[in-house]
Structure 1
Amino acid sequence: MEQNNMDAKTIAQITKNERTPLYVFDLDALRTRVRKLKEKLGARVEICYAMKANPFLIEPLQGYVDCFEVCSPGEFHICERSGIPREKIVLSGVYKNVSDMESVLDRYGQDGIFTVESGEHLRILAEEGKKRNLTLRVLLRVTSGNQFGMDPEVIREIICQREAFPQLDFVGLQWYSGTQKKTKKLAGELEKLDSLLTELNEAYGYEAEILEYGPGFPVSYFQNEILDHEEELQQEAEMLDAFSKSLDSMRFRGKIVLEMGRFLAAFCGYYVTRIVDQKRNLGQNYCIVDGGIHHLNYFGQMMAMKIPKFCHVRQETEYTKSRTEQSEKEPVLNERGGEEAWNICGSLCTVSDVIVKQLPLVDAKIGDVLVFERTGAYSVTEGIYLFLSRDLPQIFFWSEENGLEQIRGALPTNEWNSVH
């Protein structure tokens, strides 16, 4: 499967006059990835986009994915504003309350699917469906050993007593156990779920229509993990082939819905930040950038020790010209113009704001741009955005058809952190 249509240097070039920090999401790469994934996995498999990975991508993904997983009232409202049909929404989430369910049911009736993660969820949906004479389609979420979902024994009890809930149509099971999983674990999970579905059928005459499964396919972020491009594509193809074989070997013959976020969105994203200051403290080189850890988050990064896929684009600025002219009078940090290791630190007033340590850069100067790749998932919403009341970064879409499109300008947050 192809990863990107653009490259980091081109991203830096087309955004050179834009205020940094900023994100660019390559919509062509995103849609191509989804299309090729569906071709690879076949017609039996549907794709559910977990919008928590990047809610800005739901409109571009309409018509490419089959449905959207929504985990909060806020995400639901984003879908409403974006025109996502209710029947395309799986309303999930570990916390569901009466008022939120009332609002959804009063406006949309029994459209879409709800997940049930507890006895309380079961009670709320059954009661609210009864009040409105609605039959609600629900998925029972099986726990993977944490606060999400329900114990398999509870699932068995609900299925055994399902006739006591005429307002609920138990269409299947849901399962998600985490991300960055290997082929062996994926096969083991599918085998476990297949056994449970078979047991429910044999013991209680229950035949599920849907298995919604979050595979948590791996995404490589760091240079020591990323293979040559062709090798990476080959490795990914082999993983998907093995996964397809695991699906084919299941006794369950209903619909498979794969809930994915990171694996779809990560490769389409670029985070662009600019070096705004440099210094050497106690023998260590530091670049201060105008972004930081409130904007950039890589799963698996450990104390900024891993080097993510990035590109350093040198910029000719008035500052660099001035420093060149003054080089005989003032000390220059990188006199030889060769490669040096730099600690890349952000703009937050905390020692934790280190993006990456000992990043090798050649002739790094103030004004240069760093483009961090594979940032299409989670970074855009997962950071500590309100800390220090700095502005939210700009967001752009890019496509061959429409070029570079700004979809959000820099957004002040200081008003959110103030009584006035």
Structure 2
Amino acid sequence: MGKEKGGLGLRKLIPLNKALLGKWVWRFANAKEEMWKRVLVAKYGQEEFGWRTKKANGVFGVGVWKEVMKEADWCWDKMNFKVGKGTKIRFWKDPWCGEVELARRFPQLFNMAAQRSATVGELWDHNSDLGSWNLRFLRGFNDWELNMVVELLQILRSQRITMEEDLALWKGGKNGKFEVKEAYELLISHSTLLFPKKGIWVENVPSKLAFFAWEATWGRVLTLDRLQKRGWQLPNRCYLCGMDEENVNHLLIHCTVARVLWGIVLGLVGAQWVFPESVKEVIVSWKDEVVMIAVAFLIILFSVQKFGTSKSGTCCRSCLFIWFCSLAGIGIYNLVKYDSRVLMAFNPVHIYYFFKRNSTKAWYALGGCLYVQQVTSQLRNFTFQECTVLDMSCG
């Protein structure tokens, strides 16, 4: 499936196989006296006018052509006829002058026709100089039926019988030839979905990151809910927040910890965003600048990951130490220069008032602080090899 439809740019084998088998249906209809066609006709016989073989029955030696004939119905729905001699095309029941059979286009006239199964050649009169149509009906026409007769005659006016052979043409193909690519696109066209290709397959983004975004969009990340579907007996509880069941949408969007992290990332540039229900809806609704913010943030994370989280943790601790020292210096300077009464905020009573005003949200904030502290303190315990094994098992 193409990337614009949510695939990886690889063709689906089942529709591709159906398209390849369908080409043999078209080839048999247009083949003349080739040896392979004569063998098939001798083995299976042929239906009226020789456009296709009879149904392949039996147990031995019929498997391949039986599979080909399974694709005959949808193939013939996408083919019409080019009239030559008109001896192999039915006037009323085959699509030869337009996309639709005349019997379906003029059902009232078809019910009145005296020769409903006649071929095009049988209704063509060769006795006149240029030839003409010789249509016969069971009764005369009423006044309200004359308009249909006039319309039918206008369609037939441009049609003539020639001395060439009748042909089966593939609709939409160049010169009526069957194209496997067009047939494949036809078979998968019903599954076309809105997919955020531009928000995932971004140029210069590491393939590992893009592939993870593709997996998350389709909900194929091995979270606990998917592991349970595979038969794993595991309690389903989000590891980060410990409150809701774990799935890809919760883990990346709705989890309390994830919301805090996204708030930090978007807050760095002053952006505000209301996240939809699913990862796919998020990426579809993202604007270019928000995509670049998220991609840049994730690129940084994936870039430093190759050095192992122990080294990444050492770097983070150094950066945090410098950051907190800077904050402390700025704070002391402002206290001295402006007003030292702000130190009254260290009074524990304010903590009580904070929890009283915010209730549940206050506990979330406290839990987020403790979680970040715990993660930071544990970064040094993991090596590069351990991170590689963990990444392979989760991806």
Higher strand share: 1
TM-score clears 0.5: no
| TM-score using structure 2 length | 0.20
Higher helix share: 2
